[in-house]
Amino acid sequence: MNENTGGLDRFRMAAAFLVVAIHTSPLASYSALGDFILTRIIARLAVPFFLMTTGYFALGDYVFGKDPKRLHGAMKKTALLYFVSALIYLPLGLYAGHYEGLNFLSALKMLIFDGTFYHLWYLPAAVMGLGLIRLLGRRLPAAGLLGVSAALYAVGLLGDSYYGLIAETPASAIYDIIFTFTDFTRNGLFFAPLFLMLGAYARRTDIARPPLALALSLGAMTAEALTLRFLGCQRHDSMYIFLPFCTFALFDLLLSSNSRPSKRLRTVAAAVYIIHPWFIAVLPPAARLLYAGKLLEENSLPRYLAVCLLSLAAALIFTKLLPERQPPCRSWIELDMGALENNAAVLRSRLPEGCDLMPAVKADAYGHGAAAVAKRLNRLGVRSFCVATVEEGDELRRSGVRGEILVLGCAPPSRVALARRRRLTLTAADFEHAKRLAAAGKKIKVHLAVDTGMNRLGERAENFDRILSVFEMKNLRVTGLFTHLCASDGKDGASAEFTKAQAESFFELTEKLRGRGFRFKAHILNSGGAVNYPELGGDGARVGIALYGVMSTASATDSGCDGLIPVLSLKSEISLIKEVKNGENIGYGLSCRAERDMRLAVLPIGYADGLPRSLSNGAGSVIVGGEYAPIVGRVCMDQMMVDVTGVEAAPGDTAIIIGQSGDKRIRACDMAEAAGTISNEILSRLGKRLPRVTL
């Protein structure tokens, strides 16, 4: 999953140290009030943040798409971590007498609700919260799950910080029953579900809020906590009314940092969280042996810092001992989302008033990653997207993409049910296809394709009676009409004449239908149309390749991409350097022979990753060390060789296959021209095994 979630990983470390603060009270020796603010207000953000992070990564597919795969994976992973952690603390628990007097029911209570050691309650709470959402989610939509979670949290509040309000009322009898099963209401029934759901919604909403939101909500929570402390209402202090608002604002701010994720930080933070109570337990006797016991017993801050440093050191040693997982391929794609936002703004500025973007994100957004692209465009206010298949639309919905999703391809009637479930709009490819869609027996939104001269999909524009029949078909709600411009990439006389004839035929038809009282969205512009013929207008522009900063050909890119920036770069790390002697063969088929002594760099990328084999034997080049390096020999399935004779290059250096280095650049359209194809094919065929790194 290539997302800008580095801010979450960095705060995990801070959250782990905040949990240590809760258990060591670092300011207790200096100020009771200061320690309360640190450990009972600020540090209370830590566990909700951990739960939101779990919800963000594990729940979105289920809550908004009913796919439980990631949810089940998170439950299993957390349960395994709980099992291992319980074993780690078994000796300490036995030594401290935590398990004395346990019977079957009290052991079950400890295992399920309270945790087998005091800080481990979070793990069964997360598992129980995920399980509860899984159970309720079979019948409730996302909003219903959020509502139930909020109601459970409200019940938990009255057993936690607000217990004083009901302690002397008949309602306290209900809580007495609850407290026979669990010591606190901060468990998987009352506490965890809300923050897990907020994490799922954070993935769905993708709306950046200003830092002021965090400051205001934290200020409100501080005032709330101090008031409850003054009134003596608190039975415990894990739950506040403003805690969900504060955690959501913090989470949103961290997501807006747009930094790269760090698995190492995640692992270290988890290890600090798990291991720190061991150091809290062993530090006092160890300090007394070193004649530092008085210092740590009388000064809470050095004790806190010592526990943090020891826990961090142990965590770093632990993570160092873990086996490293090597990536499957040392080649990757870099995506510049700033360039994407720039391109959207440039294209919008070219369109006439009333015509907005309907980006084509089919073929995994031309190899850029459909979900990441569509969600970023959602943030810019784009609310219409185009895909090729129902399955592509389904994937976008599962990723939390909002707005209309139009399936441009000729979807079979068997996919109508899925399209309805995912709120997709289908294309009626012609009169006969429309009849088959209507015969599926379910009401569905469609856009009708009109053929104005391309002779691909679409009912012929002159067949008005058949088009009118589609608008009147039972089960079909025609909300759009479109045609495809097949010559709009060109500005020459023949291309311009044909494009304008297509537009004239299309808009004549739209006016005729609207004269009959039909209301629908009419869209005609594609990338070529938006760049070369924006004055044709319509209600939407199905921009595809232009949105990604190139056009189909190098000449079209040079003449029509003013202001547009390529979004995608393709890079590879040099595996090794080969010395080849004059006269030796290079690669498969004896197709290349060295005409001099040469240095070759072997790159771990080939046609299985989407590189055209037609780039072989000098047809294509890469950039190494700021210089062009021609491809020599045949492009292999997983590797290729480039000539780096006279170029500073070594194993581990980066080769740029698509992208720019200094004044040297290779665009997708340049590679396409060398391969005898178009940019669209080059980009859309880049393989899934190439990791996408978002910048």
The closest of 335, 398, 389 to 361, measured between CA atoms, is: 389
| Structure tokens given for 261 | 């994720």
Catalytically annotated residue among 163, 362, 366, 533: 362
The closest of 259, 260, 262, 246 to 209, measured between CA atoms, is: 246
* DSSP 8-state secondary structure symbol assigned to residue 647: S
Mention every residue, 6+ apart, whose C-beta is less than 8 A from residue 511: none
* DSSP 8-state secondary structure symbol assigned to residue 569: E
Q: Is 607 a catalytic residue?
A: no
Say if CB 445 and CB 425 are below 8 A apart.
yes
Cα separation, 632 vs 621, whole angstroms: 9
| Structure tokens given for 477 | 């709600």
Say if CB 283 and CB 306 are below 8 A apart.
yes
* DSSP 8-state secondary structure symbol assigned to residue 448: E
Q: Is 76 a catalytic residue?
A: no
Catalytically annotated residue among 30, 294, 588, 688: 588
Cα separation, 467 vs 545, whole angstroms: 30
Is 515 exposed, middle or buried, given 0-12, 13-18 or 19+ CB atoms closer than 10 A? exposed
For 509, other C-beta atoms within 10 Å of its C-beta total 22
Per-state percent for the chain, helix, strand, coil, to nearest 5 = 55, 15, 35
Say if CB 419 and CB 426 are below 8 A apart.
yes
Instruction: Give residue 369's identity as a one-letter amino acid code.
Output: G
Whole-Å CA distances, 301 to 13, 292, 297, 308: 18, 14, 10, 11
> Which run of H or of E encompasses 447?
strand 444-451
Cα separation, 440 vs 407, whole angstroms: 17
Pairing assessment for the beta strands 459-460 and 425-428 based on DSSP bridges: unpaired
> Which run of H or of E encompasses 201?
helix 192-205
DSSP state string for 292-308: -HHHHHH-HHHHHHHHH
The closest of 604, 575, 621 to 690, measured between CA atoms, is: 604
**Active-site residue list:** 362, 588
